[in-house]
Structure 1
Amino acid sequence: MSQSTSQRGDAEAGAEAPVGRWWAGRGKQIGVLLAAQALYLCTISVDLTLSGLVGYKLAPDPGLATLPFGLITVGSACTTGVASAIMARWGRRAGFMLGTTLATIGGLVSVVAIRQDSFALFCFGALCIGFYQGCAGYYRYAAADQVAAEFRARAISTVLTGGIIAAVSGPFIATSLMNVTAIEFEGSYILVSVLSVISMGAVSLFRDRSAAAVAAKGEKAAKPDKSSQLPYSAVIRQPGFGAGVAGATIGYFFMMVIMTVGPIAAMKDGHGPEARTLMIQLHMVGMYAPALMAGYLVRKVGVRWLQILGTVLGILGVGVGAVDDSEMGYILALTLVGVSWSFLYISGSSLIALSYQPKDRARTQAFGEALIMGSSAIGGLSAASLLDNFGWSTLNVIMLPLLAVCGAVTIAHRTPKPEAAAGA
């Protein structure tokens, strides 16, 4: 797609809404994605809250209790490339529908697993939820592609505000329905399927009318050979891509490690279940509530400085975790880590969204998502081992060099200009 074509597409989008509205006639599509994000996070919060407990109940060995939780991140990491290819071939909606369908299956399989006391089936159900996560990770990119390049960060942060609903209601609903039927936990996983069906209805309303989607259709019609695809070495060199991936991957890795073992470490330090529940709830609020102000901060200081702010908050969070093992220390550490992840994820995703031309959208997003979800999987799977080997305080100290690298990469990389991302 030529630059004039892309600019014409943006101009047409802007003509659909009054001047000054950043969503430029894409309000309905942004709203659909916001609703889908909220439903997705409410759905997955059931597994985040209960998978360890159900795993402990069903697993033949207590050491395997967290395996279902780890399989969620593994499934997500394995799905990103496939989901991107499906969306490039048949459109965003097809990929989103696939994700919600797999989540419905995952919820039903988990119900059967609980009824039959089958740990293997429960693991498969968790894996299906991971597949859903891999598809839903593209909601924010779909939102970014609906608007002009200079508003992509605002679109991403707006869609991620859907997580606030999940942060407040998800864990509460999950635990409230644990005993709604005669079989413990069954009601919670019935809810997973119900929410997934509702989400399926929401994403069915999505219509991708972005300039990038037009470019993708043009590519499909032209049927280019694979040699025309941007090589991964060139993807990495795109302005802003490296900094974006550094922020999002390091943010996801250290957040997954701290979130996964924080409650375990708190239990070992003698803190009760009420304190552990509160620290996870505030952690989740910290993850998604800052999205409300992220758009404002991007306008005031820019995406790059938002990522640096996220890095600083992460350093503060693990610093508190390293020196304070009191109840308040855990709560403050996990809350700061949640806010840090929010800023790193939003800024990293925004930098990736600004790095590519429309024709390179699918390949760039898929590569970025594979790296981000891969780091999440590694963090989730390695967290328990890291805690056992190093302990809570040292584990937090280990995160400091990673965050320092994130800050250094962010400072060293040049930020792509929005107008550059709009061209071809």
Structure 2
Amino acid sequence: MHDLSALAQRIRTDDDARRALQRRTLTVVAVSQVLGGAGLAAGITVGALLAQQLVGGDGLAGAPTALFTLGSALAAFLIGRFTQRHGRRLGLGLGFAAGGLGALGVVVAAAAGSVPLLFVSLFVYGAGTATNLQARYAGTDLAAPAQRGTAASIALVATTAGAVAGPNLVDPLGRLALGMGIPALAGPFLLATVAYLSAGIVLLVFLRPDPFLLARAAAPADEQAAGAAGAAGAALPPSPPPRPGPGAIAGAAVMVLTQIAMVAIMTMTPVHMRAMDFGLSAVGLVIGIHVGAMYLPSLVTGILVDRVGRVPMAIASGVTLLAAGIVAALAPESSLGLLILALTLLGLGWNVGLLAGTALVVDATVPANRARTQGTIDVLIALSGAGAGAASGVVMAASDYSVLSFTGGILALLLIPVLLWAARSGRPDDGGRPARR
């Protein structure tokens, strides 16, 4: 077992030791994210179609996204609190395990034709979504302040391999499912079961030393004292942790608004495509490219967040999402190419917003309040995604895909006034230096 105090003392004075531990942490997180990405893709690609098949009609087609994002909201809250007390390893490992069990429940529900079990299982499956998203913070715990955007981006780009492969395996996984006597649309959730459980095992076994606990132990004495009693579960009343800076509010707003725009359009794209007589392979292609655009650009966008600045890149994400909504709304019904372009822009805008928002939040927090704040913000992200997923089905039923796409793109621009407010309140964009608290 690592001596946490000795390691903390060492990395305070030895930058090489800190960088070595950071590289190890990023390697373990990246491996878990490759697996987690495969699990994440199942719900995105066929969740709405599976509900449509079991329930009938489009009115509840957005329910799967709403349910697993609601589940991810609860999981994000629990993981944030658990991590603040016990560290990233246990919080993330158990979160992925719960997601794997939820995916298995979806398979059973599809085989049994049970709508109630499907909805309960999708809710539990959402724990994997929350965990996959929160793993990006593990990459920032030991990172230098000026490299936090880049560190978060490595966790996201590692998700690409599994997240892109998953949607493009819809057909073979469907054939595998049929061979097992279960509906074809349950096939991707078979992959999600194995992927999420494997990701949890990787983190539980190999994420040592725990990066969050180590970063907290290495923090300045005043920051440690602020949350020490609460973290230890002591009988004495805990000292109140410092309040996050205004950058945390700005970062939360960026991530929430980009999530709403992305989820609303993404959720209904498979339903729209099926209504236009596109096959499952075409749906898998479009969603696969979209998910790739959500994660693959991360190494470039993360560096830009560190070098260009958090606020300019956040504004760029809103403009990109607006462009995505316009292209999706104006694309002819038979144009696969324009749908691919729209969903690529949608993924890219989300990616930039997530990395800029993540860096803003980390800059505006300290170890004594960081994990709890991150978990709370991810709850807001998940709830906003749940609302967007549920509303997307209603909007589609009442109007059409074009109206939905236009609305999502315009909503993304609301992040600009929030950023301007935060800039006046306390410099949310500080180039990587700790924000004013």
SS of equivalent residue, structure 2 residue 91: helix
By how many angstroms is 1:253 displaced?
Answer: 0.4
- CA distance 1:44–1:11, change in 2 (3 Å): same
By how many angstroms is 1:202 displaced?
Answer: 0.9
1:363 and 2:372 matched: yes
By how many angstroms is 1:93 displaced?
Answer: 1.3
Point out the more displaced range, 290-299 or 31-40: 290-299
Partner of 1:347: 356
Alignment of 1:211-290 (within 5 A): 212-214=215-217, 218-219=228-229, 220-221=231-232, 223=234, 225=237, 228-230=240-242, 234-235=243-244, 238-268=245-275, 275-290=282-297
Alignment of 1:99-178 (within 5 A): 99-178=95-174
SS of equivalent residue, structure 1 residue 137: helix
1:377 and 2:377 matched: no
By how many angstroms is 1:100 displaced?
Answer: 2.2
- CA distance 1:222–1:46, change in 2 (3 Å): closer
By how many angstroms is 1:135 displaced?
Answer: 2.9
Partner of 1:329: 338
Aligned length: 409
Instruction: Check whether the contact 2:292–2:347 (CA below 8 A) recurs between aligned residues.
Output: yes
SS of equivalent residue, structure 1 residue 51: helix
Structure 2 counterpart of 1:164, one-letter code? T
Partner of 1:57: 53
By how many angstroms is 1:273 displaced?
Answer: 5.1
Aligned counterparts of 1:50 and 1:257: Cα–Cα separation in 2: 15
Tell me the C-alpha RMSD between the 2 structures.
2.9
1:195 and 2:209 matched: no
Aligned counterparts of 2:192 and 2:280: Cα–Cα separation in 1: 24
SS of equivalent residue, structure 1 residue 228: coil
Point out the more displaced range, 70-79 or 385-394: 385-394
Aligned counterparts of 2:269 and 2:109: Cα–Cα separation in 1: 28
Residues 165-219 of structure 1 show CA distances to partners (whole Å, capped at 9, x for unaligned) of 1232111234312222331345543332222232122111112245543266844
SS of equivalent residue, structure 1 residue 147: coil
Residues 102-147 of structure 1 show CA distances to partners (whole Å, capped at 9, x for unaligned) of 1232233223223322222222221111022223322111111121
SS of equivalent residue, structure 1 residue 356: coil
- CA distance 1:262–1:13, change in 2 (3 Å): farther
- CA distance 1:193–1:13, change in 2 (3 Å): farther
Instruction: Check whether the contact 1:355–1:416 (CA below 8 A) recurs between aligned residues.
Output: no
SS of equivalent residue, structure 1 residue 178: helix
Residues 50-107 of structure 1 show CA distances to partners (whole Å, capped at 9, x for unaligned) of 2233323333776445433321111011221111111122221111121122123223
By how many angstroms is 1:49 displaced?
Answer: 2.0
By how many angstroms is 1:8 displaced?
Answer: 7.0
1:415 and 2:428 matched: yes
Any unmatched runs of 5+ in structure 1? 1-6, 18-22
Structure 2 counterpart of 1:34, one-letter code? A
Residues 250-290 of structure 1 show CA distances to partners (whole Å, capped at 9, x for unaligned) of 11100001101123334445656554443222211211111
By how many angstroms is 1:345 displaced?
Answer: 0.8
Point out the more displaced range, 129-138 or 250-259: 129-138
Aligned counterparts of 2:259 and 2:170: Cα–Cα separation in 1: 24
Aligned counterparts of 1:267 and 1:112: Cα–Cα separation in 2: 25
Partner of 2:79: 83
Aligned counterparts of 1:70 and 1:377: Cα–Cα separation in 2: 4
By how many angstroms is 1:11 displaced?
Answer: 3.8
- CA distance 1:364–1:13, change in 2 (3 Å): farther
Instruction: Check whether the contact 2:270–2:283 (CA below 8 A) recurs between aligned residues.
Output: yes
By how many angstroms is 1:27 displaced?
Answer: 0.9
Partner of 1:295: 302
Structure 1 counterpart of 2:376, one-letter code? F
1:43 and 2:39 matched: yes
Structure 1 counterpart of 2:341, one-letter code? L
Instruction: Check whether the contact 2:329–2:406 (CA below 8 A) recurs between aligned residues.
Output: yes
- CA distance 1:300–1:229, change in 2 (3 Å): closer
Point out the more displaced range, 156-165 or 127-136: 127-136
SS of equivalent residue, structure 2 residue 384: helix
By how many angstroms is 1:10 displaced?
Answer: 5.6
Instruction: Check whether the contact 1:144–1:155 (CA below 8 A) recurs between aligned residues.
Output: yes
Aligned counterparts of 1:365 and 1:62: Cα–Cα separation in 2: 34
Aligned counterparts of 1:198 and 1:401: Cα–Cα separation in 2: 39
Any unmatched runs of 5+ in structure 2? 1-7
Equivalent position to 2:22, from 26, 49, 54 = 26
Partner of 1:206: 207
Aligned counterparts of 2:365 and 2:194: Cα–Cα separation in 1: 37
Equivalent position to 1:316, from 312, 323, 342 = 323
- CA distance 1:338–1:26, change in 2 (3 Å): same
Structure 1 counterpart of 2:406, one-letter code? V
Aligned counterparts of 2:58 and 2:246: Cα–Cα separation in 1: 47
- CA distance 1:299–1:107, change in 2 (3 Å): closer
Aligned counterparts of 1:64 and 1:402: Cα–Cα separation in 2: 23
Aligned counterparts of 2:10 and 2:419: Cα–Cα separation in 1: 31
- CA distance 1:89–1:56, change in 2 (3 Å): same
Point out the more displaced range, 73-82 or 272-281: 272-281
